[in-house]
Amino acid sequence: MLKILVVTPVFWPESFRINDLVQAWVEQGHEVEILTGTPNYPHASQFPNHSWCRPLNEMAFGARIMRAPVFPRGRARAIELGLHYLSFVVMGSLRLLLHRGNDWDRIFVFQTSPVTVVLPAFLARMWCRAPVVMWVQDLWPEAVTSSGMVRNQAIGMILKLFSSNIYRGCNRLVTQSKAFLEILVARGVPASRIAYVPNWAEDFYLSGVNGSEVGYMPGQPFTVLFAGNLGRGQGAETILQAMLLLKSHPLIRWRLVGEGALKPWLQAQVADLGLGSQVEFIPACPPEAMPPLFAKADALLVCLRKDPVYTMTVPGKLQSYMASGRPVLGCIDGEGAGIIRESGAGLVAPAEDAEALAAQVCSLMELGYATRAAMGTRGRAWFLEHYLRSVCIAQLEEELAKA
């Protein structure tokens, strides 16, 4: 059994797959400690019973949590995000300096954004000589340059050099997308030190719908559901344009579940454009509350901006969509679109093409009951083959051993 330090900017009570991974490792007998920040995602402030500086120590899933006070994300503006990211590095490193018993066997980093989250892990490695394994969820600096937050080419080149050095500095890298592999090799990371392990769908989908029933029947409302962050990267403007194109269709309904920087703007636009009777906004829900919502939808929408970095990214919601046994409607390019097509789980429109998205909504609505049910069944079969929690976690444990 191993003593593992997990370095992650997000953790319980925030809803991320790193929670599942920690719980599984504890159940397998490993001793796990987590270095993370004070929880504040996706909200603009800390969670109930948490402040910017307390509690500093907690227990969850049988693991010890060491919290570092961090500057809240606020409204996710550039200055707020910059302070948030910097505070995790500084306060996380200080938190480790004050920690006793630095005898970890492995250091595991859950790298969302930014890549600097690994710096406290490098500090810990200096003490205990444990290898650092990083699970790359967002590729840097593409994740920030594609968002438009960094437009200066010189700064972009500096970030690329910095990020490449960090990736090369890890003992082992695991990527959530196959497309990341080639890029990391081009940046000087030996191919022998990189592996692909996808994100998984949670086990509570195993007892959910199996794709045999897809609710829409002619003459009834046809519900398209989007779940997740409502931001510019998720193509919120494209979704709004598609809604407007289908405004005159009396049976199409939209349900948007989640929060995000563009949610207030979307709500205002929906009201101003007279779409209120067709669009429903639902606050962010815990993951275990999603299966019943998915079961009531006729199509599950995944949408991303048209950008090179997003063509390489597999949206985390795609696995859950496929597990739910409902047809998937993609407005994306690249690897995510390829998975939908290869699995036969639904229909795809090009990213940022609102007209094509609206046409695919109508196409899916007009398909026969049996055809839509078959899409849901194929998507669920793909989930069972590729995205089971137990299989993916076992693969991650193998990568810890290889390190």
**Per-residue 3-state assignment (H helix, E strand, C coil) for the chain:** CCEEEEECCCCCCCCCHHHHHHHHHHHCCCEEEEEEECCCCCCCCCCCCCCCCCCCEEEECCEEEEEECCCCCCCCCHHHHHHHHHHHHHHHHHHHHCCCCCCCCEEEEEECCCHHHHHHHHHHHHHHCCCEEEEECCCCCHHHHCCCCCCCHHHHHHHHHHHHHHHHHCCEEEECCCHHHHHHHHCCCCHHHEEECCCCECHHHCCCCCCCCCCCCCCCCEEEEEECCCCHHHCHHHHHHHHHHCCCCCCEEEEEECCCCCHHHHHHHHHHCCCCCCEEEECCCCHHHHHHHHHCCCEEEEECCCCHHHHCCCCHHHHHHHHCCCCEEEECCHHHHHHHHHHCCEEEECCCCHHHHHHHHHHHHHCCHHHHHHHHHHHHHHHHHHCEHHHHHHHHHHHHHHC
What's the whole-number mean pLDDT along residues 345-354? 96
Higher-confidence residue of 249 and 82: namely 249
**Both tokens assigned to 139:** 């590729």
Q: Is a pLDDT exceeding 50 seen at residue 228?
A: yes
pLDDT of 212 > 60? The answer is no
Rounded to 10 degrees, what is the CA torsion of 203, 208, 213, 218?
-100
Residue 271: per-residue pLDDT? 94
- The per-residue pLDDT for 210 is 45
Which pLDDT score is estimated for 296?
87
pLDDT tens digits for 141-150?
877 666 556 5
pLDDT digits 0-9 by tens, 171-199 = 999 998 888 998 899 999 999 999 999 99
Quick: pLDDT tens for 112-143: 878 999 999 999 999 889 999 999 998 888 77
**Which pTM does this prediction carry?**
0.80
The per-residue pLDDT for 211 is: 43
| Residue 207 CB coordination number (10 Å) | 8
pLDDT in tens, 96-114: 988 877 889 999 999 987 8
Confidence of residue 329 (pLDDT cuts 50, 70, 90): very high
pLDDT at 218: 62
The mean pLDDT value of the chain amounts to 88
In sequence order, the β-bridge partners of residue 346 are 328
| pLDDT at residue 166 is higher than 70 | yes
Whether residue 74 has pLDDT greater than 80: no
Q: What domains are defined for the chain?
A: 3-200+388-402 (3.40.50.2000), 203-386 (3.40.50.2000)
Does position 43 have pLDDT exceeding 70, yes or no?
A: no
pLDDT: is 43 or 283 the higher one? Answer: 283
**Lookup: tokens for 336:** 């995510």
Q: Are strands 63-68 and 57-60 parallel, antiparallel or unpaired?
A: antiparallel
- Assess contact for 345 and 332: CB atoms under 8 A: no
Is the distance from CB of 166 to CB of 187 less than 8 angstroms?
no
> Residue 216 pLDDT > 70, yes or no?
no
How far does the chain reach from its first CA to its final CA, in angstroms?
15
